[in-house]
Amino acid sequence: MRFFSDELLHQSIFEETKETEEQWNQALHNYCMSLELLKGKVSKPIWDIAYHNRLHDAKFAGIVIQHGENQNRPTHIEVSFQKGKAIQIQYRKVSKFVVTFNEADTGIDHLGIDDCVYSELLEVGEKLFSHELLFSSGAKFYIEFEKISLRR
């Protein structure tokens, strides 16, 4: 994550200090400034989810990876969450997808991927965006894509 590094997230959970709180607030401010630049480049519902961290505590429900018919970046991904009601985020024209998940890191074998803690939506190129999702289990999803949409 560009703004909310692993170290900062760890410190905010396990080492709450005034300095950590200030660093967190500065990271949040910088991230919100970055999101302001995405207005009009992504749909209002997607921007709203990112700006207000609406995926926080959303339970991971599943992921579907599809190979579409497009010649240019045919991979599409849908990530589903449950937070009162179903939320599906659809990523189209995916150029990169990385999953990091190691159950042994948590030592809790019944946790699974679990709840989303935080996510960052960023512009990484002229027509390319990224969305990184961090889960309470320590799992991470990193997706680079051209198009994103929301389905509830």
Helix, strand, coil share of the chain (percent; to 5): 25, 40, 35
Phi-psi region at 65: left, alpha or beta (left = phi > 0; alpha = psi -120 to 50):
beta
The C-alpha atoms of residue 121 and residue 70 are separated, in whole angstroms, by 24
pLDDT tens by residue, 5-22: 878 777 776 777 898 889
pLDDT tens for residues 40-99? 999 999 999 999 999 999 999 999 999 877 678 889 999 999 999 999 999 999 999 999
Rounded to two decimals, the pTM is: 0.88
